[in-house]
Amino acid sequence: MTAKAVAEANTNIALVKYWGKNDDHFNLPAVPSLSLTLAGLRTRTEVSFEADLASDRLLLNEHEVTGEPLAKVSRHLDRVMRDLGVAARASALVRSHNNFPTAAGLASSASAFAALSVAAAGALRPGFVLDDAARRRLAVLARQGSGSAARSLYGGVVVLGTGTPGQVDSARASQVLRETDWPELRLVIGVASESAKDTGSTDGMKHTAATSPYFAPFVAAAPADLRQAMTAVQSRDLEALGHVAERSALRMHASALAADPAVVYLRGATIEGLHALRALRRRGIAAFFTCDAGPHPKALTHARDADAVAAALAAVPGVLRTIIAAPGPGARLIEDSGP
């Protein structure tokens, strides 16, 4: 007997950064975050429960993955199963594809755990419908796989709260703007070469929280960042939103840089990217820096300036190419088929 479903989820980039947890077990963020879901950068995942499979398997872009990443997927399938009140499951074949190059270091646990959550629910529950209530529930589950994944359940601009330690369903994601509400928004990614493997975000944020004297001030500043970002989003004020986004990203990296030993994601291309964006601003082009747990400089801008911003980032030594992304949709079920 086979039960399978396919889901897609787009990645998202935080404009107010999630960095640090207030509950490791339930994966509750220490700070609220605000993100933009991106069109065109998506993970498509098929979950197929197969009675004749001895154990779970994970194929990522057709390559067999084992070890801890597979174990994380298995735990997540169990988590979705328990939440749906399903008593048992067959072993699963999970096939996941990113339509953006994994080698470029843009591989995103956000789109991965969002798509996995939806596909698992679709496969476990015949006739599963991704309505508002199901989406809310799956966002809580996806967050336990990876905090940022909760935000990819929704399109457009999304907020993720901090929650209450010890309460698994407390940190909720919700949509602030639909992807069609501010269609001129663009996120430009400068894909930078990576000469060394980065510290993953989970390890990087835990180490920052444990050792950085700047972590507590970062956490203390976050609620004001979120408030200002929400006001800017409501009034479609790119300047104000960009200002907060740049500040939040730099404060996140400042806290990581002050860890002991330092967590350093910034490379030459990242810093030169930041300067290139500030130079554009002096010429009257609204372009604001952000950066995650990797070297790629990213810019928040307006559609009419996106090509100029991409050209400026492309001219930065170490930037290999650029991607321009508009606001994108939330996670969705593509098909499901029962036994």
What is the footprint of ligand DP6 within residues 200-219 (CB under 6 A)? 201-202
Q: Distance between CA atoms of 95 and 131, rounded to whole angstroms?
A: 24
Contact range with ligand DP6 by CB under 6 A, out of 86-94, 145-153, 281-289, 305-313: 145-153
Structure tokens at 276: 């290139």
Binding segment for ligand DP6 (CB under 6 A), chosen from 144-152, 181-189, 208-216, 271-279, is: 144-152
* Residue selected from 5, 7, 9, 14 as contacting ligand DP6 according to rule CB under 6 A: 14
Find the largest Cα–Cα distance for the chain. Answer: 63
Contact 296, 192 (CB under 8 A): yes
| Residue 293 binds ligand DP6 (CB under 6 A) | yes
Interaction residues for ligand DP6, span 83-122 (CB under 6 A): 109
Cβ closest to ligand DP6, residue 48 vs residue 111: 111
Of 26 and 49, CB closest to ligand DP6: 26
Sort strands 92-98 and 57-60 into parallel, antiparallel or unpaired: parallel
Residue 32 contacts ligand DP6 per CB under 6 A:
no
- Please report, for residues 46, 152, 156, 330, the alpha-carbon distance to residue 117 in angstroms, rounded to integers and kept in the order given: 11, 11, 19, 13
* Minimum CB distance to ligand DP6 smaller for 18 or for 128: 18
329 within 8 A of 39, measured Cβ to Cβ: yes
49 lies in the binding site for ligand DP6 (CB under 6 A)? no
Nearer to ligand DP6, 179 or 225 (CB): 225
Nearer to ligand DP6, 45 or 48 (CB): 45
Total residues contacting ligand DP6 by CB under 6 A comes to 14
DSSP E strands, the chain: 2-16, 21-23, 28-29, 33-50, 57-60, 63-65, 92-98, 157-160, 173-177, 185-192, 287-290, 298-302, 319-325, 332-337
22 counts as binding ligand DP6 under rule CB under 6 A: no
**Residue holding tokens 């960009």?**
242
**Residue 27 lies near ligand DP6 (rule: CB under 6 A):** yes
* Angle separating helix axes 268-282 and 306-314, nearest 10 degrees: 140
Stretch that binds ligand DP6, among 97-105, 140-148, 216-224, 233-241 (CB under 6 A): 140-148
Residue 273 in contact with residue 311, Cβ under 8 Å?
Answer: no
Name the residue nearer to ligand DP6 (CB basis): 292 or 305. 292
Backbone angles phi, psi at 87, to 5 degrees: -75, -35
Site residues for ligand DP6 per CB under 6 A: 14, 17-19, 27, 33, 109, 146-148, 201-202, 292-293
